[in-house]
Amino acid sequence: MMMEFKDSGSHPRQSQRMRKWLARTLAATIILGAFLIGGCSKKPPPNVLLIAIDDLNDWTGSLAGHPQAYTPRIDRFAATGTLFTNAHCQSPVCMPSRASMMTSRYPSSTGLYFLFPAIKDSPKLEGVVTMPERFAAEGYEVMAAGKLFHNVENQEIFGKVGEYGGNFGTFGPYPEKQMVYDKPPKLWDWGVYPKSNDDSETPDYQIAQWAKNKLEQDYDKPFFLAAGFYRPHVPMYATQQWFDKFPLDEIQLPVVKEGDLDDLSPYAIDLINLKHISPTQQWMVEQGEWEHAVQSYLASIAFVDSCVGIVLDALEDSPHKDNTIVVVYSDHGFHMGEKEHWAKRTLWEDSTRVFLAVAGPGLGSNQRTNKPVGLIDIFPSLLDLCGFNSDSGHEGVSISSLIDNPNTKWDRPIRTTFGKGNNTLRDENWRYIKYVDGSEELYDHREDPHEWNNLASNPEFKDIKSRLAEWLPQDEEPILGEGSTGHNAYQASAERLKERMAAN
Ligand SMILES: [Ca+2]
Ligand SMILES: [Ca+2]
């Protein structure tokens, strides 16, 4: 039986016209709807520009870690977005810090605590998608130069999903011999750049130019562009013009407290002293090199600031400036004699605190937040800010709510690890440290920004310790690899601990 079309006696032609009109209107509505929905989803996601700086502590103007720090470009960038003034690495060592950041996993979950092995050698990271791989999978043009991962992993990972433009000579030129501190490897040196007095011959300058060139081009899809600078990592070399900014006789040394280590456990002291390749504080003072090394670090920072500026200026002058999220960060901090220590590989503020600022279209400007965040949060944050699904394996969290409101409620303290069982937690006011032997430290940053007074044995702060201790890792992967400075220091400290326990 045919369906009767209810046109209630209207002329058949008229009803036919009516049906055609209805059909056309319906079709037009569907097309318009599809256009609107499709139009929205077709708006390209933002580009990502990632700028990494190697071994930069809080000696920037914006973080005020040293009164003479000269970083006008990094500071100007921070003012265009959100500066995270309480940001920390998850490992105070190059490779594991970068592995943690690029996979959003803690060292305690991957076994990557020290300089070796590589990401691919962690069984826990089998099949895990790193940041550039994820952005490639989202349809991005992926490009990088310099130090983002460690050593060959830059070529292996970026080369696989996009373009790796090269390392342009990494830390080079390397010292022919250790000029002022005669211990291998040949990295520890500082002073005027020995090869030339022209910035354009330095690897970092060339990396900046490479990134500038990439930013000057057009792309038919969004890009993920990363530039990783090598300074101020040792050798702390910069050309003469950067040294001229910091006359040697005007150098201000970091503020230190005599007897600062007296309230630490023997294990904590062993961990920063045994088998380290960096100079000792005693050697620096005896050789009269402390001021010179501080000068060289300041000069190296001022130089790398200019390289960051080249890239940021190129973005500003490019058609991409209104659709690019920029993240500038350092991989961990650096001691310059504080706590009688040089370099990284400690669980104190000097080693853990990093520069981190995020800026982009609609992401706010001139904002600062003291909420504790980590490099581990960068990957989930970028996915969130670019509108992609989160990865359930990520252990970091998106910090976009802090960009929306820098004072938003934020309960999680941020964790840093130096070898299995040695962890620290930092919240807005406190740093709590627990070592593998059970010894503890607690510092109140409201009154003690240099972490001089260990309050861990004071019963008044028992609750603060327990609250932070709840964030210690429950299960910790065994340490992978062997033979790096971190491995050696950790092992030697464990052996001394065993000796002490046997003697008691
Ligand atoms: Ca580093
Ligand atoms: Ca102390």
Residues 6+ apart with CB under 8 A from 23: none
In a domain, 110, yes or no: yes
* Residue 330 structure tokens: 């350092």
Across the 504 residues of the chain, what is the mean pLDDT of every consecutive 10-residue run?
A: 37 51 57 47 86 98 98 98 98 98 98 97 98 98 98 97 98 86 86 95 98 98 98 98 98 97 98 95 96 98 99 98 98 98 98 98 97 99 98 98 98 98 98 98 98 98 98 97 97 98 94
In a domain, 239, yes or no: yes
Domains identified in the chain, total number? 1
Give the DSSP letter string of 364-426.
Answer: -SSEEE-S-EEGGGHHHHHHHHHTPPP-TT--S---HHHHH-TTS-----EEEESSTT-EEEE
* Residue 357 structure tokens: 């600022």
Nearest ligand, measured from the Cα of 268 = 2
Nearest ligand, measured from the Cα of 343 = 1
CA distance 263 to 282: 19
In a domain, 477, yes or no: no
In a domain, 415, yes or no: no
**90-123 pLDDT per residue, tens:** 999 999 999 999 999 999 999 999 999 999 999 9
C-alpha 42 – ligand 1 centre gap (Å): 39
pLDDT at 185: 79
Distances (CA, A) of 464 to 17, 86, 457: 78, 18, 12
In a domain, 95, yes or no: yes
Query: Is 100 in contact with 108 (CB distance < 8 Å)?
Result: no
Calculate ∠ Cα 342-55-230, nearest 5°: 130
Nearest ligand, measured from the Cα of 57 = 1
In a domain, 476, yes or no: no
Whose structure tokens read 């943690």?
100
In a domain, 223, yes or no: yes
User: Amino acid identity of 53?
Assistant: I
In a domain, 140, yes or no: yes
C-alpha 233 – ligand 1 centre gap (Å): 7
CA distance 494 to 198: 47
Nearest ligand, measured from the Cα of 232 = 1
Residue 140 is part of a domain; what is its CATH number? Answer: 3.40.720.10
C-alpha 443 – ligand 2 centre gap (Å): 9
Query: From edge to edge, which strands make up the β-sheet containing 440-444?
Result: 414-417, 423-426, 430-434, 440-444
C-alpha 418 – ligand 1 centre gap (Å): 14
The catalytic residues are 94, 150
pLDDT at 78: 98
Whose structure tokens read 């004072």?
407
pLDDT at 29: 55
C-alpha 481 – ligand 1 centre gap (Å): 19
pLDDT at 143: 98
> Model pTM?
0.92
Residues 6+ apart with CB under 8 A from 403: 81, 82, 358, 363, 364, 367, 385
327 backbone dihedrals φ, ψ, rounded to 5° = -125, 125
Hey, is 20 helix, strand or coil?
A: helix
Query: Is 371 in contact with 400 (CB distance < 8 Å)?
Result: no
* Residue 361 structure tokens: 């279209």
Query: Is 224 in contact with 142 (CB distance < 8 Å)?
Result: yes
C-alpha 453 – ligand 2 centre gap (Å): 5
Question: Whole domain around residue 111: which residue ranges?
Answer: 45-409
DSSP-based helix, strand, coil % in the chain, nearest 5? 40, 15, 45
Q: List, in sequence order, every residue forming a beta bridge with 237; answer none if it has no partner.
A: 191
C-alpha 51 – ligand 1 centre gap (Å): 13
Query: From edge to edge, which strands make up the β-sheet containing 367-369?
Result: 163-164, 141-146, 223-232, 47-54, 324-330, 356-359, 82-84, 367-369
pLDDT at 12: 43
Residues 6+ apart with CB under 8 A from 393: 104, 105, 128
